[in-house]
Each structure stands twice: as C-alpha cells, then as structure tokens.
C-alpha cells in the first residue's frame, strides 16, 4: 500500500498569492491544508513579521531589508511579488506574527511550522527572539513547531520553551552535528536534493522523528517520497496538489 505523506502549504498558497501573506495563508487553509509553513524575521524596531527573503526587492520592489526598516515603514509597502503577479496584489501588505496568530486562532484544526530565519537574529539575541516568538504565539503554541537552520537557537528553545522543534538542513549529513542530540528534534526538514541515497529515510538516533522535505509540486514524486519514509512534503502548489490527490493527507502526530 502506498504511503501518502502530509502536504504542507509552503509559505501558504504561494502559487496563487504573494508568499507568507495573509491571503496566501487563508487560501491554503480554504483549499484544505492541515499544515502551513511560514518564515519569520524581525524589523529594525523589534516587530516580528512574515518574510522569507534577505531583501525586499522580489516581493516589495524596493531596496532594503526587513531588519533595516521599522514596522511602520514596512506597513506602507505592498507585498505583491510583481514579477509573478504584476499589480494584482498591490493592496497586500507584509503580515505580522500577531496577525498570523489570530489566523491560527480562527482555524483551530490547522497546525504550522514557524521557521525562524537567520536574519531574525541581526542585532538581537537568540533568547530575545525566542521570548518574543513565544509571547506572540502563546495562544497557539501547541499547534506550532519552531524550525530553523540555526541549531543553537533550537537548543535554546529546547531548554526555555514548550514548542515542538524541527531542525532544517540542505544536506542530510548535516543532521549528524552533535548539537542535534541535545536538541532531540521532533522533525527534520531537508532539501529533497540533499536526501541520502538509501531507499528508506530515518535518523539513526531519532527513529520516531518526522521527516519533511521541500520543494515538491508533483504528486507522483510526493508519493515516491512517502514510500521512502518521508512524512511531510512542502509545496508551493498546495491547492493543485490537494485537488490532484484529495485523500493525500495522512496523520502526522
């Protein structure tokens, strides 16, 4: 019997809306996504917002960075991805983590992977970022998993928070870092191109951990990954993938 991994809406329904925005997340949930993934950075004046890129050019068509601007400055910028959507979404703005938490409260069956980007730590300690994220997500903490490439941040989160955790890496061998044993992540996120060549994928020290990969937009490939032991696949094409495989989601636990 074919194992069907759970689909994760990578930055929301990013195929049809500007990524990481409230419309993208609402669309993913409306399409039937049970899991969504977002990226978090910190503004120059300490506001947590949803944003992936290291600069504002692709999504907002201006120079600068999230950490180089105030929350007020950013609130006046359109987040419209003009290279893909022209002016269709020029009214859309960068979402705050507080707005995301409100969205989660309105949809109690949805769970989320919250990726803390390296840019979030510019001019700010890991402890401070964790405290701010924890406060913003307090009411939905039990349905959020903190994920990051920053293993030292995850180690801090393991000892100072109640979040479930996920380590992120480009290559599978990076999960052999000794700090992984101290973190004991519930999830491992790996670039699909960095998976080991073995037929079945498990972490030798954490065989019960859930394995997730990005970026998959082909149902057949997703199913083949499920057969290799992958529990979750991130996709920008969440609506299309769910329509192609309406019974795709399987319990993650």
pLDDT beyond 90 at 94: yes
* Residue range 13-28: mean pLDDT, rounded: 98
Q: How many residues are there in the chain?
A: 253
* Alpha-carbon torsion angle 150, 235, 164, 65, nearest 10: 40
Mean pLDDT score across all residues of the chain? 95
Mean pLDDT on 162-187:
98
The reported pLDDT for the residue numbered 2 is: 52
Q: What is the pLDDT of residues 202-223, one digit of tens each?
A: 999 999 999 999 999 999 999 9
Q: What is the CATH number of domain 6-55+95-244?
A: 3.20.20.190
User: Tell me, what's the pLDDT at 49?
Assistant: 98
| Tokens 């004991």, located at residue | 184
pLDDT category of residue 253 using cuts at 50, 70 and 90: very low
pLDDT at site 4: 87
Count the Cβ atoms, other than its own, within 10 Å of residue 91.
Answer: 10
- pLDDT tier at 229, thresholds 50, 70, 90: very high
Averaged pLDDT, 66-94: 98
Tokens of 95: 């979402």
pLDDT band at 250 (very low <50, low <70, confident <90, very high): very low
86 CB-near residues (< 8 Å, 6+ apart): none
> How many other β-carbons are positioned within 10 Å of the β-carbon of residue 185?
23
Backbone region of residue 193 per phi and psi (left: phi > 0; alpha: psi in -120 to 50; beta: other values): alpha
> In the structure, what pLDDT confidence band is assigned to residue 38 with cuts at 50, 70 and 90?
very high
Q: Radius of gyration of the chain from Cα atoms?
A: 17
pLDDT at 241 exceeding the cut of 60: yes
Percent of the chain scoring above 90 in pLDDT: 93
Residue 199: band (very low, low, confident or very high) from pLDDT cuts 50, 70, 90: confident
Mean pLDDT of 85-104: 98
Q: Is the pLDDT of residue 9 over 90?
A: yes
pLDDT above 80: residue 1: no
**Centroid of chain to Cα 30:** 18
């Amino acid at each position: 019997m074919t194992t069907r991994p759970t689909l994760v809406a990578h930055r929301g329904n990013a195929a049809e809306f500007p990524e990481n925005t409230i419309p993208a997340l609402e669309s993913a949930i409306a399409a039937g996504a049970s899991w969504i993934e977002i990226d978090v950075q910190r503004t120059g004046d300490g506001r947590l917002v949803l944003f992936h890129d290291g600069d504002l050019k692709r999504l907002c068509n201006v120079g600068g960075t999230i950490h180089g601007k105030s929350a007020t400055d950013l609130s006046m910028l359109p987040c419209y991805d003009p290279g893909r959507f022209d002016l269709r979404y020029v009214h859309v703005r960068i979402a705050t983590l507080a707005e995301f938490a409100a969205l989660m409260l309105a949809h109690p069956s949805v769970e989320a992977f919250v990726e803390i980007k390296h840019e979030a730590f510019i001019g700010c300690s890991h402890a401070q970022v964790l405290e701010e994220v924890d406060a913003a997500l307090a009411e939905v903490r039990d349905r959020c998993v903190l994920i990051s490439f920053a293993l030292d941040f995850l180690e801090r989160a393991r000892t100072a928070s109640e979040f479930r955790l996920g380590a992120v890496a480009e290559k599978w061998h990076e999960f052999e870092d000794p700090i992984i044993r101290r973190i004991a992540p519930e999830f491992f996120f790996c670039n699909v191109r960095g998976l080991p060549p073995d037929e079945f994928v498990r972490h030798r020290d954490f065989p019960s951990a859930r394995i997730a990969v990005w970026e998959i937009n082909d149902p057949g490939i997703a199913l083949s990954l499920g057969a290799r032991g992958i529990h979750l696949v991130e996709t920008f094409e969440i609506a299309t993938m769910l329509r192609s495989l309406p019974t795709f989601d399987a319990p993650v636990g």
